[in-house]
Structure 1
Amino acid sequence: MSFGEILSDISGREKQVIVYAPDDTGTDLAEVLATRNLTIDHRRLPSISSESFVIIRDGGEFQGAMSLPDLLEFISPPIRRPQNLDALAPKHRAVYELLDDTVFVSLDRRQLLATSRELEDRAWRTGRGRLRAGFQRADAFEAQTDVYRELSATDIDIDVYVPGGVSGAPLDDTPVTVHTDPDSDLDRYWFVLFDDGASGAQNCALIARETEGGKYQGVWTYNPELVAQAFEAVG
């Protein structure tokens, strides 16, 4: 399965957030989730009902419900996946699962760089496993060589993919493998993939492709099965 097929498969999964509120309070949630490929419906409650709440459905099936204020507080940045997702209350777990496998539709390079740092930091803290990263341009890779030099001091097996090659030999004195002629499909994507080499609890992946105007569409996920599919796409 290629990166394109992975993104197509995820984007085809119907996820729905239904906001029940006596007014337009739910517009705050719409702004927070505006970059996600989600259906957000608003159902007006009678004015005597003061407590707004949210229902989450995945593929038409009920996944969880919580008050709107609690949800807005819970997903306020920075959104970081907890180490033990099963320890969360079911309603909170449903929120993470909603965000986890949902395609984002409009992020800029700054936002993607921040997400990449989160995944790379998770790899660094784990200190073992496999890390694969794809850079669409040589200058993007060269700007991150210090990050990957630091990561190379761990027990992580690291491969980076830089279409068109790089100037000099920035990481030749490290165990990092630099691929300068990746598959033509890979060079269309910005990606960071990490496999912890053990339980999979730290596995994570970011896959994004540029659309227009410096915006990107893609997904980041902590789902071990999706991460495994992404590694298979890299080969």
Structure 2
Amino acid sequence: MSLADFLAEVARRRKTLTVFAPEQYERLGDHFETRNVTVEHETLPDDGSGGFVVVSENGEFVGSVGGDAVRELVAPPTTFGTAPSEATQALLNLLADTTFVSFDKRQMLATSREIEDRAFRCGRGTLRTGFQSLSALRAQERIYELLANKEGLDVHVYGRPDWSPEIPGVTVHTDETPEIGAFWFVVFDGGRASKENETGRTSELGTTDEQACALLAEEGEPHTFSGFWTYDPELVGELDDYLHETYG
């Protein structure tokens, strides 16, 4: 098993996002042009509701949310620690487990921040972040100081040893393997586990299932990434196990 295997498995899936609204949402096509998502639009009379969005996979209904979620998704909040609206989070959940292509560094940082925010708000569990090279952590040092100050949160960072970060509470893993240098990942297990279930995974009052999330991406062209994000607790658990067992 490898990180490339995780990416290849998710790449086999494709979802369709159909917007039912009086007018097409500006910038929506641009937002999803780099994702393995088909965007369609169906015109509805204007009843003042703003419309709604339906997500399907292979022709089967996955879920739906109000149109406000789409507007917020293409213009997300930037303040660290600010939770997305329930509708936007629901849309993110529905669109998880689809691959994206040609994300630049700015898009990668925005997606990573959503997972880091979730770990910060939860305040417990394990967060594993791969920076490719540890020097990339310099720009995020303050964020990781805040994360490490959460007493119940176990923070691990991974990367090639081109810098030696010293952040109290952060466990640093140095590795020269090609995999660590090629992949950017952020994996949050959802919360400190306390009870083992039938599958061998653990949970605490449903926290793991509700909060688990991860981002995995491989760099192709310089500063251009292809990958996926997921809210599937089983897939997150497998990624977390792989990183722990392979790199510590």
What TM-score bracket applies, with the shorter chain setting the length? 0.7 to 0.9
CA 1:170–1:185 in 2, change beyond 3 Å: closer, same or farther?
Answer: closer
Q: In the alignment, which residue of structure 1 is the partner of 2:147?
A: 151
Matched residues in 2 for 1:12 and 1:214: separation? 24
Match of 2:128 among 132, 136, 144: 132
Q: In the alignment, which residue of structure 2 is the partner of 1:192?
A: 186
| Deviation sequence 1:197-221 (CA, Å, 0-9, x none) | 2321222211111122522111122
Q: In the alignment, which residue of structure 2 is the partner of 1:8?
A: 8
* 1:140 Cα deviation from its structure 2 partner: 0.5
If asked which structure has higher relative contact order (CA below 8 Å, sep 6+), I would say 1
| Deviation sequence 1:69-125 (CA, Å, 0-9, x none) | 667436433186656xxxx6xxx95x4443222212121111211222222222122
- 2:111 maps to a residue whose letter is T
Larger Rg: 1
Q: In the alignment, which residue of structure 1 is the partner of 2:118?
A: 122
Matched residues in 1 for 2:224 and 2:179: separation? 19
Q: In the alignment, which residue of structure 2 is the partner of 1:160?
A: 157
Bigger strand share: 2
In the alignment, structure 1 residue 227 sits paired with structure 2 residue 236: yes
In the alignment, structure 1 residue 175 sits paired with structure 2 residue 169: yes
| Deviation sequence 1:130-167 (CA, Å, 0-9, x none) | 0111111232023323322332222211221121x144
Matched residues in 2 for 1:148 and 1:96: separation? 24
Root-mean-square deviation (Å)? 3.2
Match of 2:71 among 69, 73, 78: 73
Matched residues in 1 for 2:59 and 2:65: separation? 17
* Matched pairs, number: 218
| Deviation sequence 1:177-208 (CA, Å, 0-9, x none) | 21112654233111111121232122221111
- 1:157 maps to a residue whose letter is D
Unaligned runs of 5+ in 1: none
User: Aligned residues: percent identity?
Assistant: 39
Unaligned runs of 5+ in 2: 78-82, 193-203
